[in-house]
Structure 1
Amino acid sequence: MTKYDLIATSAMGLEALVAKEVRSLGYECEVENSRITFKGDEKAIAKSNLWLRTADRIKLKVGEFKATSFDELFERTKALPWENFLPENAEFPVSGKSVKSKLFSVSDCQAIVKKAIVERMKHHYKRVGWFEENGPLFKIEVGLHKDVVLLTIDTSGSGLHKRGYRTGQGEAPIKETLGAALVLLTNWTPNRPFVDPFCGSGTLPIEAALIGQNIAPGFNREFVSEGWNWMDTKVWDEVRIEAEDLANYDQPLDITGSDIDHRLVKTAEENAFEAGLGELINFKQMRVQDFTTSKEYGVIVGNPPYGERLGEKSAVQQMYREMGQAFAKLDTWSIYMLTSDEEFEMVYGKKATKKRKLFNGFIRTDYYQYWGKRPPRDK
């Protein structure tokens, strides 16, 4: 099978986590800012799309070169073997971005790349006229950074955060990829209780359940590369059957999501049922301040309100204060909170064991980690 240069893109701060996932699939990789590069065949394209929980999307690298003039961009794009990827009837829109480069006009770069590919294809397919573009979709991106051009084809289609289970959402839903990352950055194991006291539309509990039963996050959706003529449908079938065999549906889970808003609790329940996890997760309406439990060695993960809007901060900080008081008794529990409030530790009433800088969309946040006592080892 042909080996391709593949790129798993990632949110800032999650690169190491994506790299760990890529390696766990059996591929060596290199880590750069917001991208993890690895080599793999058609099966690697299918597996990485189906299994990577924290990556944004999987791109196929066609070429990379330096270009400081439009002529150079045209000639070097035209020199690449586009016919290896694009059939004669391919629909291939070109998007682009340019950062700190002499060729700063994105629309011009897109037009030139498109023209160069058309010229290459005309020569290869011995065509005189225009291409109809009524076949499978190949989304091409031209990215310029400090005069280095990277040309890629998107293999995912919709971003990988679109798992296919979200029937509804709240005002500021956390992306599923970040939700999975927040779970993977904890010390939670499927045999321990998991609680999200700010569950919103249910993303964190659902992602925890998918992780707990080792269910591939892309199992319920389709990918644009499934329609490509050189991606054998047998490969996709094989990878899906493998994923089905690897899922541990018998793993019992103790996962609870709660929220102050009863409408969101209902949405979370609907989303969990859509994901096929409705029976596994317990959702209820509750204020975080009222949380009590007799269970031990559990994990609490939350993405509480940040108080970003004017006038909200004092109310949010009061809630943090009361939450700190409610959680103070839970000495065997580990607690993880994501917020942009830099005064969180002071208001919560305790210094974090560790904190990690992450981005929730464009908001710079810290992931505050409070580690509880270790559970006794099973004899």
Structure 2
Amino acid sequence: METLNFAIPTLFGLEALAADELRRLGLDQVRAENGRVLCSGRPGDIPRMDLNLRTGERVLLVLGTFPAGDFDALFEGTRALPWEQFIPREGRFPVKGHCLNSALHSVPACQSIVKKAAAARLGDAYGLNTLPETGALFQIQFSIMKDTAVLMLDTSGPGLYKRGYRAHGVDAPLRETLAAAMVLLSRYRGRDPLCDPFCGSGTIPIEAALIAKNRAPGLNRSFSAQKWSWLPTQAWMDAADEAQDREFHGDYEIWGGDIDPAAVELARHNAQLAEVDDIVRFEAADARTFHWGGMYGRIVTNPPYGERIMERREAEELYRAFGKAWAKFPETWKLYLLSSHTEFERTFGKTADRKRKLYNGMLKCDLFLYGVK
């Protein structure tokens, strides 16, 4: 079990960022595809990826890829994989997955076939007609695209965007992986002020603080693979030690504001849970009159879109007022603003220097870049 293959699903638009993260972690054969990044590594890389990845959605261990044009091919291909190398006698192995552009399009039927095939292989290996499934969780995931099946085990459990610092959020929260991506795309490294005048429950400033400190986002949560007997506890301890040794300690200017005092209180609470409350500051403030004293810095923000929280007209009025506030900033400042509003630049009052297409869940958005040549 020396070399293993992995698939890291991402939100659309974040593939290159996740690939960069994996290369920095020293993973091999890193290659980005639509909605995922593939790579190879060793068992000890599983905890390193789960703990450190900021823009990946989860870490999937790929067991095999094979043609699956019909149910017989799916059954035989699944049964041929070495499940017993990974799933112990008592292991629980529920199945979930998706099908796209394939002859096999019924997800429940494919789930049933994969479950029966894996159970048949494990039953033969352990000499059992019925498997107990009373032990650790080994979530099987399948992807069938264009009649090709990929069979995987989910090492993460809850998605990696669940950092452990946000028990609940305000309306239409921004996923943590996307917030981290926005900060990374702004090239923020902790040296200049970073502000979010629409901070909501604080996700963007908190992710910025984690990036500034180089703190691994998964240190405060657990993962499914921590209970896998073939992956030693020491590997998780070593990965956590490595991550903590790489942390920075310094003074940072990170600020979040929101017009809703309840959101600000929640943001402060979340920052405490993320252990960054010492370097990020939250205040009740109105983005329509937002200003900052410094000669340079960046704003990374995700204002209400109109179709999700506020009425469209209210959102446009907010964009117009914020555009006037932004116009008073020195040219040395940079703005990175995420919106799904198709007329954002018109209502904001200024055409973006650059745009980048991103997705907030399944909602297509643009990241509007100002002050960036």
Cα distance per residue 1:204-239 (max 9 Å; x no partner): 000000000000010111110010010011111001
2:171–2:309 Cα contact (<8 Å) kept: no
Aligned residue in 2 for 1:90: 91
Alignment partner of 1:135 is 2:135: yes
Aligned residue in 2 for 1:173: 173
Cα distance per residue 1:35-61 (max 9 Å; x no partner): 111111111111111111000000000
Relative distance call for 1:312 and 1:5 in structure 2 (3 A) is same
SS in 2 for 1:191: coil
1:200–1:259 Cα contact (<8 Å) kept: yes
Report deviation, 1:262.
Answer: 0.7
Cα distance per residue 1:273-310 (max 9 Å; x no partner): 11111121111111112212221211101100111169
CA distance in 2 between counterparts of 1:223 and 1:354 reads 38
Alignment partner of 1:190 is 2:183: no
Report deviation, 1:192.
Answer: 0.3
Higher deviation after alignment, 80-89 or 308-317: 308-317
2:340–2:364 Cα contact (<8 Å) kept: yes
Aligned residue in 2 for 1:326: 325
CA distance in 1 between counterparts of 2:228 and 2:154 reads 12
CA distance in 2 between counterparts of 1:340 and 1:19 reads 25
Aligned residue in 1 for 2:81: 80
1:15–1:32 Cα contact (<8 Å) kept: yes
CA distance in 2 between counterparts of 1:210 and 1:333 reads 22
Cα distance per residue 1:54-87 (max 9 Å; x no partner): 0000000011111122112111111111111110
Report deviation, 1:188.
Answer: 2.2
2:189–2:211 Cα contact (<8 Å) kept: no
* Misfit runs of 4+, over 6 Å: none
Aligned residue in 2 for 1:255: 254
SS in 1 for 2:44: helix
CA distance in 1 between counterparts of 2:365 and 2:355 reads 10
CA distance in 1 between counterparts of 2:168 and 2:76 reads 47
CA distance in 1 between counterparts of 2:10 and 2:178 reads 10
Aligned residue in 2 for 1:124: 125
Report deviation, 1:344.
Answer: 1.2
Aligned residue in 2 for 1:13: 13
| Residue type at the aligned position of 2:47 | A
Report deviation, 1:175.
Answer: 0.5
When normalised by structure 2's length, the TM-score is: 0.97
CA distance in 2 between counterparts of 1:320 and 1:326 reads 10
| Residue type at the aligned position of 2:243 | A
1:167–1:274 Cα contact (<8 Å) kept: no
Report deviation, 1:2.
Answer: 1.2
Aligned residue in 2 for 1:359: 359
Q: Provide the aligned C-alpha RMSD in A.
A: 1.4
Report deviation, 1:311.
Answer: 7.8
Pairwise mapping of residues 1-379 of structure 1 onto structure 2 (< 5 A)?
2-28=2-28, 29-127=30-128, 129-248=129-248, 250-308=249-307, 312-330=311-329, 331-371=331-371
In structure 1, stretches of 5+ residues that fail to align are: 374-379
| Seq. identity, % | 44
Relative distance call for 1:115 and 1:298 in structure 2 (3 A) is same
1:168–1:271 Cα contact (<8 Å) kept: no
Cα distance per residue 1:121-146 (max 9 Å; x no partner): 1221122x301101110000121111
CA distance in 2 between counterparts of 1:27 and 1:67 reads 29
| Residue type at the aligned position of 1:32 | E
Cα distance per residue 1:304-333 (max 9 Å; x no partner): 011116981122111111111111121211
| Residue type at the aligned position of 2:321 | E
Report deviation, 1:96.
Answer: 2.1
1:292–1:326 Cα contact (<8 Å) kept: yes
In structure 2, stretches of 5+ residues that fail to align are: none
2:197–2:301 Cα contact (<8 Å) kept: yes
1:167–1:270 Cα contact (<8 Å) kept: no
1:297–1:372 Cα contact (<8 Å) kept: no
SS in 2 for 1:42: coil
SS in 2 for 1:114: helix
CA distance in 2 between counterparts of 1:105 and 1:350 reads 48
1:180–1:207 Cα contact (<8 Å) kept: yes
| Residue type at the aligned position of 1:286 | A
CA distance in 1 between counterparts of 2:259 and 2:41 reads 46
Cα distance per residue 1:82-120 (max 9 Å; x no partner): 111110111000112111111112111111111111111
SS in 1 for 2:59: strand
1:92–1:139 Cα contact (<8 Å) kept: yes
